[in-house]
């Protein structure tokens, strides 16, 4: 089966006669690496890029090329790890400096892949000339290193929501096919720490990371998923009769669902069976605590992240609604605070919880000033400007007019005179107007041509309004894809067409009520079988917790049950209503209501 997969690895031209960065000896490479300015990782990265480029193009014996590459590995990993902090967990549209650093690391990974590719292919072609190491082991180690850098490069592209470069998937398929053909894919070699890893496991880690719907995950979550798959990759089978996914080693394509292949499966294709891994994750999820699962290296997988991996690797994802082309702008506001503001009828949080007439007590307002807390004996708090100061009236009509004149721009003045509320006047929750690409009852695909807001991330809540007088709907950002021409495609999934805004109050262990926090109640939708749920901030709320929802004229007591979803921005719970003692007493009509003692006297 493996012999039917043609190998077409692209290798750089060998057009350099000798190295210029250091002499072609392992000792010289170690000395050169030891003198690199480790305090300046960007300089180190640039110098390593020059060295790797020469190692790709210089005519060298395969075992010498491999030893020179290994001499640079420690510095390369340190530089990439240090520089990654400059652009990871940052806004998606990065400034010039982080974007340049990300491109530099991507180039280092690409050069490393090419250099190890050369080593593996030349070791096979010149096996009789290899001295000091078994040629098969040299090929195995070179392929393993190349696949490791392929995995890191794919992870970086997923984290930055970049499109896959041409031949990216094909290179990985071909590296694995070469190892499979040489019967090296199952040989375990030393990995990070005390671990052992094979070509098959390394290949599957990169493959399955792409199967975990990476455009729906945040950068930190992607790194955790990649680490978990590295630890659990030995539970995945490839090349058997069964499998949810299928990869074609002769095509530049990501893994596809095997059920989509209705025709004869080609001989170059391999099925990937994730059922044992999914069963393992379900067992971990069932036995783990609310905090999630901790890996051997201390990495923590939350319950929500494990559920995401189980869904992605355990079943075929089918689109529930047909998307149709759509045109025109869609008003979008980002974040839980903005969603609460629009759901409350464009009212601030205090007004939504306490009413439009609510005004903090002056002492409460003093505590929120940037000058810190002030004592209750502050003499300025007793000042009464209406009675303590009397303005001298002016006889000049012009001066009196100036005293009471308020300057407004034309747009604000027109909005006030017309009586219409202009949403743009709410500075805290700006509106964006991306163009719709397609739409369905389940959500929208948006073409975001303007600059992305800095706070925008996968998993953020979104308030959307298609027409100026339409109702605001609640949605969540499910995926993001950045295109080459600085455009960004974004998919948002509708959570509910109707939302009620509340203030959620919890009680501390001492019985004291906390300050209200924003919460959104999503009513039940019988048509699609969606129960009522509650959206809360990411922290401070947990399963089985009792809370009180407040808004003017309404107070609801409920208990949170199961956490249905969680992202970096919000949590979603189902819940049940809790009857308070006063409600039970008020509804008790079993006895006479004239006197609380009537039933007692009747028994005497």
The whole-number pLDDT of residue 528 equals: 63
By percentage, how much of the chain surpasses pLDDT 70?
80
Q: Is the pTM of this model over 0.85?
A: no
By percentage, how much of the chain surpasses pLDDT 90?
47
Q: Scanning the structure block, which residue is given the tokens 């969606």?
A: 530
159 domain-assigned: yes
**In this model, does residue 105 exceed pLDDT 60?**
yes
124 and 39 fall within a common domain:
yes
**In this model, does residue 167 exceed pLDDT 60?**
yes
Return d(Cα 222, Cα 224) in angstroms, integer. 5
Two structure tokens written together for 500: 């009620």
82 and 24 fall within a common domain:
yes
285 and 137 fall within a common domain:
no
* 299-313, 404-418, 473-487: range with lowest mean pLDDT: 404-418
N-terminal to C-terminal alpha carbon distance within the chain:
95
102 and 220 fall within a common domain:
no
Quick: pLDDT tens for 422-441: 444 445 788 899 999 998 88
**In this model, does residue 200 exceed pLDDT 90?**
yes
Dihedral of alpha carbons 509, 510, 515, 516, sign: positive
The domain that holds 553 is classified in CATH as 2.40.10
Return d(Cα 387, Cα 604) in angstroms, integer. 68
Domain boundary among 316, 344, 364: 316
86: which DSSP letter? T
- Identify which has the larger pLDDT, 414 or 302: 302
How long a stretch of residues is the chain?
Answer: 604
278 domain-assigned: yes
Q: Look at residues 179, 315, 180 and name the one whose alpha carbon lies nearest to residue 245.
A: 315
Read off the pLDDT band of 1 (50, 70, 90): very low
**In this model, does residue 150 exceed pLDDT 80?**
yes
Q: Look at residues 46, 57, 154, 153 and name the one whose alpha carbon lies nearest to residue 110.
A: 153
121 and 29 fall within a common domain:
yes
145 domain-assigned: yes
For 118, residues 6+ apart whose C-beta sits below 8 A from its C-beta are: 11, 12, 14, 56, 62, 65
206 and 179 fall within a common domain:
no
**In this model, does residue 500 exceed pLDDT 60?**
yes
105 and 230 fall within a common domain:
no
The whole-number pLDDT of residue 26 equals: 94
179 and 222 fall within a common domain:
no
Arithmetic mean of pLDDT, 339-358: 88
Paired with 334 in beta bridges are 462
Return d(Cα 136, Cα 272) in angstroms, integer. 26
154 and 280 fall within a common domain:
no
218 domain-assigned: yes
Angle, helix 96-125 to helix 41-57, in steps of 10 degrees: 30
396 domain-assigned: no
Whether 226 contacts 209, CB under 8 Å: yes
Quick: pLDDT tens for 350-383: 999 988 776 654 444 444 444 444 444 444 444 4
Q: Within 13 A of 458's CA, how many CA atoms are on the CB side?
A: 24
363 domain-assigned: no
Number of domains in the chain: 3
Arithmetic mean of pLDDT, 475-489: 81
Look up the domain containing 38 and give its range: 1-185
61 domain-assigned: yes
**In this model, does residue 488 exceed pLDDT 90?**
no
Quick: pLDDT tens for 16-41: 889 999 999 999 999 999 999 989 99
Return d(Cα 480, Cα 397) in angstroms, integer. 60
Burial of 528 (0-12, 13-18, 19+ CB in 10 A): exposed
179 and 230 fall within a common domain:
no
415 domain-assigned: no
223 and 295 fall within a common domain:
yes
Backbone angles phi, psi at 296, to 5 degrees: -60, -30
506 and 545 fall within a common domain:
yes
Domain boundary among 253, 283, 316: 316
Arithmetic mean of pLDDT, 569-575: 90
Tell me the average pLDDT of the chain: 82
């Amino acid at each position: 089966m493996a012999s039917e997969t043609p190998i077409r690895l692209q290798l750089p031209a060998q057009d350099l006669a000798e190295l210029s960065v250091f002499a072609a000896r392992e000792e010289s490479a170690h000395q050169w690496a030891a003198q690199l300015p480790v305090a300046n990782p960007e300089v180190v990265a640039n110098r390593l890029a020059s060295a790797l480029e020469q190692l790709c193009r210089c005519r060298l014996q395969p075992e010498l090329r491999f030893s020179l590459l290994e001499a640079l590995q420690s510095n390369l990993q340190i530089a990439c790890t240090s520089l990654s902090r400059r652009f990871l967990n940052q806004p998606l549209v990065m400034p010039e400096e982080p974007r340049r650093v990300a491109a530099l690391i991507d180039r280092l990974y690409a050069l490393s892949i090419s250099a190890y590719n050369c080593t593996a292919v030349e070791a096979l072609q010149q096996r009789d000339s290899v001295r000091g190491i078994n040629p098969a082991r040299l090929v195995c180690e070179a392929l393993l290193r190349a696949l490791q850098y392929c995995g890191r490069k794919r992870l970086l592209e997923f984290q930055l929501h970049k499109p896959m470069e041409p031949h990216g998937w094909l290179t990985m398929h071909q590296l694995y096919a070469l190892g499979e053909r040489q019967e090296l894919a199952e040989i375990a070699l030393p990995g990070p720490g005390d671990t052992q890893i094979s070509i098959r496991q390394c290949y599957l880690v990169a493959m399955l990371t792409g199967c975990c719907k990476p455009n729906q995950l945040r950068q930190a979550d992607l790194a955790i998923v990649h680490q978990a798959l590295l630890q659990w990759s030995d539970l995945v089978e490839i090349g058997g009769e069964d499998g949810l996914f299928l990869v074609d080693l002769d095509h530049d394509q990501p893994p596809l669902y095997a059920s989509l292949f209705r025709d004869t499966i080609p001989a170059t294709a391999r099925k990937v069976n994730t059922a044992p891994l999914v069963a393992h994750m379900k067992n971990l999820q069932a036995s783990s605590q609310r905090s999630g699962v901790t890996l051997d290296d201390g990495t923590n997988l939350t319950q929500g992240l494990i559920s995401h991996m189980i869904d992605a690797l355990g079943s075929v994802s089918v689109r529930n609604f047909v998307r149709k082309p759509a045109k025109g702008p869609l008003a979008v506001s980002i974040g839980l605070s903005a969603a609460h503001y629009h759901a409350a009828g464009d009212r601030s949080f205090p007004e939504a919880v306490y009413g439009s007439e609510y005004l903090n007590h002056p002492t409460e307002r003093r505590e929120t000033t940037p000058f810190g807390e002030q004592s209750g004996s502050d003499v300025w708090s007793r000042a009464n400007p209406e009675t303590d100061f009397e303005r001298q009236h002016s006889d000049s009509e012009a001066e009196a007019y100036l005293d009471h004149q308020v300057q407004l721009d034309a747009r604000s003045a027109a909005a006030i005179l017309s009586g219409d509320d202009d949403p743009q006047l709410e500075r805290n929750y700006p509106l964006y107007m991306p163009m719709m690409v397609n739409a369905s009852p389940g959500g929208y695909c948006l073409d975001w041509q303007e600059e992305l807001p800095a706070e925008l991330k996968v998993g953020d809540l979104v308030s959307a309004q298609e027409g100026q007088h339409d109702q605001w709907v609640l949605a969540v950002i499910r995926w993001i894809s950045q295109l080459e021409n600085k455009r960004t495609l974004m998919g948002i999934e509708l959570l509910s067409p109707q939302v009620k805004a509340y203030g959620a109050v919890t009680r501390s262990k001492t019985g004291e009520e906390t300050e209200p926090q924003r919460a959104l109640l999503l009513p039940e939708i019988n048509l699609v079988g969606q129960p009522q749920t509650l959206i809360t901030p990411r922290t401070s709320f947990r399963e089985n917790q009792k809370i009180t929802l407040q808004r003017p004229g309404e107070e609801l007591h409920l208990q949170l049950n199961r956490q249905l979803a969680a992202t970096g921005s919000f949590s979603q719970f189902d819940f049940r209503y809790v009857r308070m003692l006063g409600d039970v007493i008020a509804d008790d009509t079993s006895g006479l209501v004239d006197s609380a003692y009537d039933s007692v006297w009747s028994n005497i």
